Amino acid sequence: MPSITKPEDRVPLIQKLAYGAGGPIDVWSVWIFLSLVYPIFNMELKMDPLMIGVILLVFRLWDAVSDPIMGYISDNTRTRWGRRRPYLVVGAFLVGLTYPLMWWAPRSFGEQELFWWLIITGIFFYTCFTFYNMPYQSLLLEMTPDYNERTRVTGVRAIVSKFAGLGVGWAWWLTQRDVFRDPVTGEVDAVEAMRVISIGIGLMILVLGILPGLLVKERYYEHGFTRQQKKVSLWRSLSETLSNVPFLILMAIATLYMLGLTVVDALGKYIATYYVLGGDKAEASTWDGLGGTITFITGLVSIPVFTSIASRIGKNKALGIALGLVTLGTASSWFFYIPDQPMWMMLYYFTRGTGTGAIWLLIPSIQADVVDHDELQTGERREGAFASIFSWTLKLGLSLAYGLSGPILAMTGFDIELESNQAEGVMLNLRLAFCLVPTIAMLVTAYLLYIFPLTPARSAEIREQLEARRGKV
Protein backbone atom coordinates (compact mmCIF):
# COMPACT_ATOMS: atom_id res chain seq x y z
CA MET A 1 0.00 0.00 0.00
CA PRO A 2 1.26 3.51 -0.77
CA SER A 3 2.24 5.69 2.19
CA ILE A 4 0.21 8.83 2.81
CA THR A 5 1.96 12.17 2.34
CA LYS A 6 1.33 14.59 5.20
CA PRO A 7 -0.25 17.94 4.21
CA GLU A 8 2.78 19.86 5.45
CA ASP A 9 5.05 17.82 3.19
CA ARG A 10 3.12 18.57 0.02
CA VAL A 11 4.49 21.07 -2.50
CA PRO A 12 1.79 23.48 -3.77
CA LEU A 13 0.80 22.93 -7.40
CA ILE A 14 1.90 26.43 -8.43
CA GLN A 15 5.42 25.66 -7.18
CA LYS A 16 5.48 22.30 -8.93
CA LEU A 17 4.43 23.95 -12.19
CA ALA A 18 6.93 26.80 -11.77
CA TYR A 19 9.74 24.36 -11.10
CA GLY A 20 8.66 22.23 -14.03
CA ALA A 21 8.83 25.28 -16.31
CA GLY A 22 12.60 25.22 -15.93
CA GLY A 23 12.87 21.65 -17.19
CA PRO A 24 12.90 22.56 -20.91
CA ILE A 25 16.00 24.72 -20.42
CA ASP A 26 18.02 21.57 -19.70
CA VAL A 27 16.39 19.71 -22.61
CA TRP A 28 17.01 22.47 -25.14
CA SER A 29 20.50 23.36 -23.92
CA VAL A 30 21.85 19.81 -24.01
CA TRP A 31 19.66 17.60 -26.16
CA ILE A 32 18.98 19.86 -29.16
CA PHE A 33 22.70 20.31 -29.73
CA LEU A 34 23.55 16.65 -29.18
CA SER A 35 20.68 15.55 -31.41
CA LEU A 36 21.60 17.84 -34.30
CA VAL A 37 25.37 18.18 -34.04
CA TYR A 38 25.99 15.33 -36.50
CA PRO A 39 23.12 16.06 -38.93
CA ILE A 40 24.06 19.76 -39.15
CA PHE A 41 27.82 19.78 -38.84
CA ASN A 42 28.63 16.42 -40.45
CA MET A 43 25.82 15.70 -42.91
CA GLU A 44 25.35 19.33 -44.00
CA LEU A 45 28.70 21.05 -43.40
CA LYS A 46 30.83 17.89 -43.93
CA MET A 47 32.79 18.41 -40.73
CA ASP A 48 34.97 15.46 -39.70
CA PRO A 49 33.03 13.40 -37.08
CA LEU A 50 36.26 12.99 -35.10
CA MET A 51 36.46 16.78 -34.73
CA ILE A 52 32.87 16.84 -33.51
CA GLY A 53 33.81 14.25 -30.91
CA VAL A 54 36.68 16.44 -29.72
CA ILE A 55 34.35 19.44 -29.42
CA LEU A 56 31.90 17.50 -27.27
CA LEU A 57 34.71 16.23 -25.06
CA VAL A 58 36.08 19.76 -24.57
CA PHE A 59 32.66 20.97 -23.44
CA ARG A 60 32.46 18.28 -20.78
CA LEU A 61 36.02 18.85 -19.61
CA TRP A 62 35.05 22.47 -19.11
CA ASP A 63 31.95 21.35 -17.18
CA ALA A 64 34.25 19.32 -14.93
CA VAL A 65 35.59 22.66 -13.69
CA SER A 66 32.53 24.90 -13.86
CA ASP A 67 29.83 22.55 -12.52
CA PRO A 68 31.42 21.74 -9.12
CA ILE A 69 32.46 25.36 -8.63
CA MET A 70 28.94 26.61 -9.31
CA GLY A 71 27.44 23.91 -7.07
CA TYR A 72 29.84 24.98 -4.31
CA ILE A 73 29.00 28.67 -4.79
CA SER A 74 25.27 27.95 -4.66
CA ASP A 75 25.57 25.79 -1.52
CA ASN A 76 27.48 28.55 0.27
CA THR A 77 25.39 31.52 -0.88
CA ARG A 78 23.35 33.31 1.79
CA THR A 79 20.95 36.03 0.59
CA ARG A 80 17.54 37.29 1.64
CA TRP A 81 16.11 35.46 -1.40
CA GLY A 82 17.82 32.14 -0.72
CA ARG A 83 20.75 30.07 -2.00
CA ARG A 84 19.36 29.22 -5.44
CA ARG A 85 16.73 31.70 -6.62
CA PRO A 86 18.93 34.73 -7.48
CA TYR A 87 21.03 32.60 -9.84
CA LEU A 88 17.91 31.26 -11.56
CA VAL A 89 16.56 34.70 -12.42
CA VAL A 90 19.87 36.08 -13.73
CA GLY A 91 20.89 32.79 -15.31
CA ALA A 92 17.73 32.49 -17.38
CA PHE A 93 18.60 35.70 -19.20
CA LEU A 94 22.22 34.65 -19.75
CA VAL A 95 21.26 31.25 -21.17
CA GLY A 96 18.55 32.64 -23.43
CA LEU A 97 20.79 35.34 -24.89
CA THR A 98 23.78 33.08 -25.55
CA TYR A 99 21.92 30.00 -26.84
CA PRO A 100 21.96 30.90 -30.58
CA LEU A 101 25.70 31.60 -30.73
CA MET A 102 26.93 28.11 -31.66
CA TRP A 103 24.57 27.92 -34.63
CA TRP A 104 25.59 31.31 -36.07
CA ALA A 105 29.10 30.62 -37.36
CA PRO A 106 29.85 32.66 -40.51
CA ARG A 107 29.05 30.63 -43.62
CA SER A 108 32.46 31.44 -45.08
CA PHE A 109 34.26 29.47 -42.36
CA GLY A 110 36.27 26.39 -43.26
CA GLU A 111 36.49 23.28 -41.11
CA GLN A 112 39.23 24.59 -38.78
CA GLU A 113 37.55 27.95 -38.28
CA LEU A 114 34.23 26.25 -37.62
CA PHE A 115 35.92 23.99 -35.08
CA TRP A 116 37.24 26.93 -33.07
CA TRP A 117 33.98 28.85 -33.37
CA LEU A 118 32.14 25.95 -31.75
CA ILE A 119 34.79 25.56 -29.04
CA ILE A 120 34.73 29.25 -28.02
CA THR A 121 31.00 29.94 -28.27
CA GLY A 122 30.18 26.56 -26.74
CA ILE A 123 32.32 27.16 -23.66
CA PHE A 124 30.75 30.60 -23.28
CA PHE A 125 27.22 29.23 -23.56
CA TYR A 126 27.73 26.23 -21.29
CA THR A 127 29.27 28.47 -18.62
CA CYS A 128 26.04 30.48 -18.62
CA PHE A 129 24.04 27.26 -18.59
CA THR A 130 25.97 26.00 -15.55
CA PHE A 131 25.27 29.30 -13.78
CA TYR A 132 21.55 28.49 -14.15
CA ASN A 133 21.42 24.71 -14.09
CA MET A 134 23.37 23.90 -10.92
CA PRO A 135 21.08 25.98 -8.65
CA TYR A 136 18.07 24.64 -10.58
CA GLN A 137 19.00 20.98 -10.08
CA SER A 138 19.90 21.66 -6.44
CA LEU A 139 16.52 23.23 -5.76
CA LEU A 140 14.73 19.98 -6.62
CA LEU A 141 16.56 18.13 -3.85
CA GLU A 142 15.21 20.41 -1.11
CA MET A 143 11.57 21.04 -2.07
CA THR A 144 10.08 18.36 0.21
CA PRO A 145 11.28 15.77 2.74
CA ASP A 146 8.62 13.23 1.69
CA TYR A 147 9.68 10.06 -0.19
CA ASN A 148 6.70 9.97 -2.57
CA GLU A 149 6.10 13.73 -2.92
CA ARG A 150 9.57 13.98 -4.40
CA THR A 151 8.45 11.70 -7.21
CA ARG A 152 5.36 13.82 -7.78
CA VAL A 153 7.52 16.95 -8.09
CA THR A 154 9.84 15.25 -10.55
CA GLY A 155 6.73 13.98 -12.35
CA VAL A 156 5.50 17.51 -13.07
CA ARG A 157 8.94 18.50 -14.31
CA ALA A 158 9.12 15.35 -16.41
CA ILE A 159 5.77 16.12 -18.06
CA VAL A 160 6.82 19.65 -19.00
CA SER A 161 10.20 18.39 -20.18
CA LYS A 162 8.47 15.80 -22.34
CA PHE A 163 6.80 18.56 -24.33
CA ALA A 164 10.20 20.17 -24.82
CA GLY A 165 11.58 16.77 -25.80
CA LEU A 166 8.89 16.50 -28.45
CA GLY A 167 10.46 19.55 -30.06
CA VAL A 168 13.84 17.81 -29.99
CA GLY A 169 12.36 14.88 -31.87
CA TRP A 170 11.01 17.15 -34.60
CA ALA A 171 13.93 19.58 -34.75
CA TRP A 172 15.72 17.77 -37.57
CA TRP A 173 12.44 17.47 -39.49
CA LEU A 174 11.87 21.21 -39.07
CA THR A 175 15.27 22.00 -40.59
CA GLN A 176 14.24 20.09 -43.74
CA ARG A 177 11.08 22.12 -44.51
CA ASP A 178 10.54 23.93 -47.81
CA VAL A 179 10.29 27.27 -46.03
CA PHE A 180 14.08 27.04 -45.58
CA ARG A 181 14.75 26.25 -49.25
CA ASP A 182 17.56 28.37 -50.72
CA PRO A 183 16.10 30.45 -53.59
CA VAL A 184 19.37 30.25 -55.51
CA THR A 185 20.25 26.56 -55.24
CA GLY A 186 16.73 25.25 -54.74
CA GLU A 187 18.02 23.03 -51.91
CA VAL A 188 16.79 23.10 -48.32
CA ASP A 189 19.30 25.03 -46.18
CA ALA A 190 19.26 23.16 -42.85
CA VAL A 191 22.07 25.32 -41.47
CA GLU A 192 20.09 28.53 -41.98
CA ALA A 193 17.02 26.78 -40.59
CA MET A 194 18.83 25.98 -37.35
CA ARG A 195 19.90 29.60 -37.02
CA VAL A 196 16.27 30.71 -37.06
CA ILE A 197 15.17 27.92 -34.71
CA SER A 198 17.90 28.79 -32.20
CA ILE A 199 16.59 32.35 -31.81
CA GLY A 200 13.11 31.03 -31.03
CA ILE A 201 14.50 28.62 -28.45
CA GLY A 202 16.51 31.40 -26.83
CA LEU A 203 13.36 33.50 -26.39
CA MET A 204 11.47 30.59 -24.81
CA ILE A 205 14.35 30.05 -22.37
CA LEU A 206 14.10 33.70 -21.31
CA VAL A 207 10.39 33.38 -20.55
CA LEU A 208 10.29 29.98 -18.82
CA GLY A 209 13.65 30.03 -17.08
CA ILE A 210 12.87 32.79 -14.59
CA LEU A 211 9.72 31.14 -13.19
CA PRO A 212 11.44 28.78 -10.72
CA GLY A 213 13.46 31.68 -9.35
CA LEU A 214 10.36 33.81 -8.84
CA LEU A 215 7.84 31.29 -7.50
CA VAL A 216 9.54 28.27 -5.88
CA LYS A 217 10.29 28.28 -2.14
CA GLU A 218 13.57 27.03 -0.67
CA ARG A 219 12.12 24.89 2.11
CA TYR A 220 15.25 24.05 4.09
CA TYR A 221 16.58 27.60 3.77
CA GLU A 222 13.34 29.27 4.90
CA HIS A 223 13.14 26.97 7.92
CA GLY A 224 16.60 28.21 8.91
CA PHE A 225 18.47 24.90 8.69
CA THR A 226 20.67 25.64 5.68
CA ARG A 227 20.64 29.39 6.35
CA GLN A 228 22.54 28.76 9.59
CA GLN A 229 24.69 25.95 8.20
CA LYS A 230 28.41 26.63 8.24
CA LYS A 231 30.08 27.03 4.86
CA VAL A 232 31.97 23.98 3.61
CA SER A 233 35.22 24.11 1.64
CA LEU A 234 35.11 23.02 -1.98
CA TRP A 235 37.54 20.12 -1.60
CA ARG A 236 35.91 18.78 1.53
CA SER A 237 32.49 19.01 -0.08
CA LEU A 238 33.64 17.12 -3.17
CA SER A 239 35.46 14.51 -1.08
CA GLU A 240 32.44 13.80 1.11
CA THR A 241 30.12 13.67 -1.88
CA LEU A 242 32.31 11.19 -3.70
CA SER A 243 32.52 9.04 -0.56
CA ASN A 244 28.78 8.45 -0.47
CA VAL A 245 28.26 4.87 -1.66
CA PRO A 246 24.55 5.12 -2.61
CA PHE A 247 25.37 8.24 -4.63
CA LEU A 248 28.19 6.50 -6.49
CA ILE A 249 25.94 3.57 -7.37
CA LEU A 250 23.09 5.82 -8.51
CA MET A 251 25.51 7.91 -10.54
CA ALA A 252 26.89 4.75 -12.18
CA ILE A 253 23.35 3.58 -12.99
CA ALA A 254 22.40 6.86 -14.65
CA THR A 255 25.69 7.29 -16.49
CA LEU A 256 25.89 3.74 -17.81
CA TYR A 257 22.27 3.92 -18.91
CA MET A 258 22.90 7.22 -20.68
CA LEU A 259 26.19 6.09 -22.20
CA GLY A 260 24.84 2.76 -23.40
CA LEU A 261 21.90 4.30 -25.24
CA THR A 262 23.46 7.50 -26.50
CA VAL A 263 26.75 6.09 -27.82
CA VAL A 264 24.79 4.47 -30.66
CA ASP A 265 21.90 6.92 -30.80
CA ALA A 266 23.41 8.88 -33.67
CA LEU A 267 23.95 5.60 -35.53
CA GLY A 268 20.19 5.12 -35.56
CA LYS A 269 19.81 8.18 -37.79
CA TYR A 270 22.37 6.79 -40.23
CA ILE A 271 20.75 3.35 -40.27
CA ALA A 272 17.30 4.84 -40.81
CA THR A 273 18.51 7.24 -43.51
CA TYR A 274 20.85 5.06 -45.53
CA TYR A 275 19.74 1.48 -44.74
CA VAL A 276 15.98 1.72 -44.32
CA LEU A 277 15.20 4.69 -46.59
CA GLY A 278 17.95 4.57 -49.22
CA GLY A 279 19.49 7.96 -48.42
CA ASP A 280 16.32 10.08 -48.36
CA LYS A 281 17.13 12.56 -45.59
CA ALA A 282 13.81 14.38 -45.79
CA GLU A 283 11.89 11.12 -45.42
CA ALA A 284 14.21 10.00 -42.62
CA SER A 285 13.67 13.26 -40.76
CA THR A 286 9.90 12.73 -40.94
CA TRP A 287 10.15 9.25 -39.45
CA ASP A 288 12.60 10.55 -36.87
CA GLY A 289 10.00 13.14 -35.90
CA LEU A 290 7.31 10.46 -35.70
CA GLY A 291 9.59 8.38 -33.52
CA GLY A 292 10.10 11.38 -31.28
CA THR A 293 6.33 11.83 -31.06
CA ILE A 294 5.84 8.20 -30.05
CA THR A 295 8.61 8.58 -27.47
CA PHE A 296 6.83 11.69 -26.20
CA ILE A 297 3.42 10.02 -25.92
CA THR A 298 4.65 6.81 -24.29
CA GLY A 299 6.95 8.73 -21.98
CA LEU A 300 4.13 11.08 -21.00
CA VAL A 301 1.80 8.19 -20.18
CA SER A 302 4.54 6.43 -18.22
CA ILE A 303 4.95 9.34 -15.77
CA PRO A 304 1.66 9.01 -13.83
CA VAL A 305 1.75 5.24 -14.23
CA PHE A 306 5.21 4.87 -12.72
CA THR A 307 4.54 7.54 -10.09
CA SER A 308 1.74 5.29 -8.87
CA ILE A 309 3.85 2.13 -9.18
CA ALA A 310 6.71 3.70 -7.23
CA SER A 311 4.41 4.75 -4.39
CA ARG A 312 3.23 1.13 -4.06
CA ILE A 313 6.34 -0.97 -4.53
CA GLY A 314 9.13 1.58 -4.10
CA LYS A 315 11.27 3.55 -6.52
CA ASN A 316 13.93 0.84 -6.85
CA LYS A 317 11.55 -1.84 -8.10
CA ALA A 318 9.74 0.63 -10.36
CA LEU A 319 13.09 1.64 -11.84
CA GLY A 320 13.86 -2.03 -12.47
CA ILE A 321 10.67 -2.42 -14.49
CA ALA A 322 11.56 0.65 -16.56
CA LEU A 323 15.05 -0.68 -17.27
CA GLY A 324 13.49 -3.96 -18.39
CA LEU A 325 11.35 -2.15 -20.96
CA VAL A 326 14.34 -0.29 -22.38
CA THR A 327 16.36 -3.51 -22.57
CA LEU A 328 13.52 -5.17 -24.47
CA GLY A 329 13.54 -2.32 -26.97
CA THR A 330 17.29 -2.27 -27.56
CA ALA A 331 17.54 -6.05 -27.89
CA SER A 332 14.64 -6.09 -30.38
CA SER A 333 15.95 -3.23 -32.51
CA TRP A 334 17.71 -5.74 -34.77
CA PHE A 335 14.30 -6.80 -36.06
CA PHE A 336 12.75 -3.32 -36.26
CA TYR A 337 15.02 -1.66 -38.87
CA ILE A 338 13.99 -3.18 -42.21
CA PRO A 339 14.73 -1.72 -45.68
CA ASP A 340 11.74 0.13 -47.15
CA GLN A 341 9.60 -0.65 -44.08
CA PRO A 342 10.17 2.31 -41.74
CA MET A 343 6.94 1.74 -39.79
CA TRP A 344 8.60 -1.11 -37.88
CA MET A 345 11.13 1.36 -36.42
CA MET A 346 8.31 2.86 -34.38
CA LEU A 347 8.17 -0.25 -32.17
CA TYR A 348 11.69 0.56 -31.02
CA TYR A 349 10.61 4.08 -30.06
CA PHE A 350 7.56 2.70 -28.23
CA THR A 351 9.44 0.42 -25.83
CA ARG A 352 12.34 2.79 -25.34
CA GLY A 353 10.09 5.80 -24.79
CA THR A 354 8.03 4.09 -22.11
CA GLY A 355 11.06 2.99 -20.12
CA THR A 356 13.02 6.19 -20.57
CA GLY A 357 10.16 8.38 -19.38
CA ALA A 358 9.97 6.38 -16.16
CA ILE A 359 13.74 6.30 -15.62
CA TRP A 360 14.14 10.09 -15.71
CA LEU A 361 11.14 10.42 -13.43
CA LEU A 362 12.60 8.16 -10.76
CA ILE A 363 16.36 8.81 -10.75
CA PRO A 364 16.12 12.51 -9.69
CA SER A 365 13.64 11.56 -6.96
CA ILE A 366 16.02 8.88 -5.66
CA GLN A 367 18.81 11.44 -5.73
CA ALA A 368 16.95 13.49 -3.10
CA ASP A 369 16.87 10.38 -0.87
CA VAL A 370 20.64 10.10 -1.33
CA VAL A 371 21.07 13.69 -0.06
CA ASP A 372 19.14 12.71 3.08
CA HIS A 373 21.49 9.76 3.54
CA ASP A 374 24.46 12.12 3.23
CA GLU A 375 22.96 14.55 5.76
CA LEU A 376 22.63 11.70 8.23
CA GLN A 377 26.33 10.92 7.79
CA THR A 378 27.76 14.46 7.67
CA GLY A 379 25.17 16.70 9.35
CA GLU A 380 25.17 18.97 6.27
CA ARG A 381 22.96 19.48 3.25
CA ARG A 382 25.03 20.02 0.10
CA GLU A 383 22.51 19.71 -2.70
CA GLY A 384 24.71 21.79 -4.97
CA ALA A 385 27.64 19.41 -4.62
CA PHE A 386 25.49 16.38 -5.43
CA ALA A 387 23.68 18.11 -8.29
CA SER A 388 26.90 19.40 -9.86
CA ILE A 389 28.79 16.11 -9.77
CA PHE A 390 25.75 14.16 -10.92
CA SER A 391 25.02 16.63 -13.72
CA TRP A 392 28.62 16.74 -14.90
CA THR A 393 28.89 12.96 -14.89
CA LEU A 394 25.74 12.69 -17.02
CA LYS A 395 26.97 15.35 -19.42
CA LEU A 396 30.35 13.65 -19.61
CA GLY A 397 28.59 10.41 -20.40
CA LEU A 398 26.57 12.16 -23.09
CA SER A 399 29.60 13.76 -24.66
CA LEU A 400 31.68 10.59 -24.47
CA ALA A 401 28.79 8.79 -26.10
CA TYR A 402 28.44 11.27 -28.93
CA GLY A 403 32.20 11.64 -29.13
CA LEU A 404 32.60 7.87 -29.46
CA SER A 405 29.81 7.80 -32.03
CA GLY A 406 32.15 9.38 -34.54
CA PRO A 407 34.97 6.85 -34.09
CA ILE A 408 32.44 3.98 -34.01
CA LEU A 409 30.92 5.31 -37.22
CA ALA A 410 34.39 5.46 -38.76
CA MET A 411 35.25 1.96 -37.51
CA THR A 412 32.21 0.53 -39.28
CA GLY A 413 33.69 1.79 -42.55
CA PHE A 414 30.84 4.23 -43.21
CA ASP A 415 31.68 6.93 -45.80
CA ILE A 416 29.32 9.91 -45.88
CA GLU A 417 30.23 10.61 -49.51
CA LEU A 418 28.89 7.18 -50.57
CA GLU A 419 25.56 7.79 -48.79
CA SER A 420 23.42 4.62 -49.25
CA ASN A 421 25.99 2.91 -51.52
CA GLN A 422 28.24 1.68 -48.72
CA ALA A 423 30.78 -1.12 -48.96
CA GLU A 424 29.66 -4.62 -48.12
CA GLY A 425 29.38 -5.26 -44.38
CA VAL A 426 29.18 -1.60 -43.33
CA MET A 427 25.45 -1.60 -42.63
CA LEU A 428 25.76 -4.91 -40.79
CA ASN A 429 28.38 -3.37 -38.52
CA LEU A 430 26.17 -0.36 -37.84
CA ARG A 431 23.19 -2.53 -36.96
CA LEU A 432 25.19 -4.81 -34.66
CA ALA A 433 26.55 -1.83 -32.72
CA PHE A 434 23.08 -0.27 -32.51
CA CYS A 435 21.63 -3.45 -31.00
CA LEU A 436 24.35 -4.98 -28.82
CA VAL A 437 26.04 -2.00 -27.13
CA PRO A 438 22.97 -0.62 -25.32
CA THR A 439 21.61 -4.08 -24.47
CA ILE A 440 24.81 -5.06 -22.68
CA ALA A 441 24.88 -1.69 -20.88
CA MET A 442 21.29 -2.16 -19.67
CA LEU A 443 22.10 -5.58 -18.19
CA VAL A 444 25.01 -4.15 -16.21
CA THR A 445 22.81 -1.27 -15.05
CA ALA A 446 20.22 -3.74 -13.78
CA TYR A 447 22.86 -5.38 -11.58
CA LEU A 448 23.87 -2.01 -10.11
CA LEU A 449 20.25 -1.31 -9.27
CA TYR A 450 20.03 -4.70 -7.55
CA ILE A 451 22.79 -3.72 -5.07
CA PHE A 452 21.49 -0.17 -4.47
CA PRO A 453 20.95 0.09 -0.67
CA LEU A 454 18.29 2.83 -0.22
CA THR A 455 15.00 0.95 -0.03
CA PRO A 456 11.72 2.67 0.96
CA ALA A 457 12.06 1.29 4.49
CA ARG A 458 15.65 2.55 4.84
CA SER A 459 14.69 6.00 3.51
CA ALA A 460 11.89 6.20 6.10
CA GLU A 461 14.36 5.31 8.87
CA ILE A 462 16.76 8.01 7.69
CA ARG A 463 14.05 10.66 7.78
CA GLU A 464 13.04 9.68 11.32
CA GLN A 465 16.64 9.92 12.48
CA LEU A 466 17.16 13.29 10.81
CA GLU A 467 14.03 14.80 12.32
CA ALA A 468 14.96 13.49 15.74
CA ARG A 469 18.33 15.22 15.42
CA ARG A 470 17.52 18.60 13.81
CA GLY A 471 13.72 18.80 13.84
CA LYS A 472 11.19 18.83 11.01
CA VAL A 473 11.38 21.10 7.99
Helix (H) or strand (E) holding 17: helix 13-21
Predicted confidence band at 3 (pLDDT cuts at 50, 70, 90)?
Answer: low
Domain ranges of the chain: 21-465
- Residue 422 gets the label, from left (phi > 0), alpha (psi -120 to 50) or beta, of beta
- Which of 266, 265, 273 lies closest to 421 in space, CA to CA? 273
Tell me the pLDDT tens digit for each residue of 61-97.
Answer: 898 889 999 999 999 999 999 999 999 999 999 999 9
Tell me the pLDDT tens digit for each residue of 346-379.
Answer: 988 898 889 988 999 999 999 999 999 999 999 9
Structure confidence at residue 1 (pLDDT)? 47
Q: What is the mean pLDDT of the chain?
A: 89
Angle between helices 190-209 and 147-175 (to 10 degrees): 150
**With 50 as the cut, is the pLDDT of residue 203 above it?**
yes
Tell me the pLDDT tens digit for each residue of 394-437.
Answer: 877 776 776 677 787 777 777 777 777 777 788 888 888 888 98
Structure confidence at residue 316 (pLDDT)? 95
Instruction: Give the range among 149-158, 254-263, 340-349, 416-425 with minimum mean pLDDT.
Output: 416-425
User: Terminus-to-terminus CA distance in the chain, angstroms?
Assistant: 25
Contact call for residues 72 and 388 (beta carbons, < 8 A): yes
Where helices occur in 314-425 by DSSP H, the ranges are 315-336, 345-378, 383-411
- Which of 55, 42, 29 lies closest to 400 in space, CA to CA? 55
Structure confidence at residue 86 (pLDDT)? 96
Cα-based distances in Å from 252 to 35, 221, 445, 451, 462: 23, 30, 8, 12, 23
How far, in Å, CA of 120 to CA of 59, rounded? 10
How far, in Å, CA of 472 to CA of 464, rounded? 9
Phi/psi of residue 181, nearest 5 degrees: -75, 130
- If you ran DSSP here, which 8-state letter would residue 210 be given? T
What's domain 21-465's superfamily in CATH? MFS general substrate transporter like domains (1.20.1250.20)
pTM, two decimal places: 0.83
Amino acid at 445: T
**With 90 as the cut, is the pLDDT of residue 447 above it?**
yes
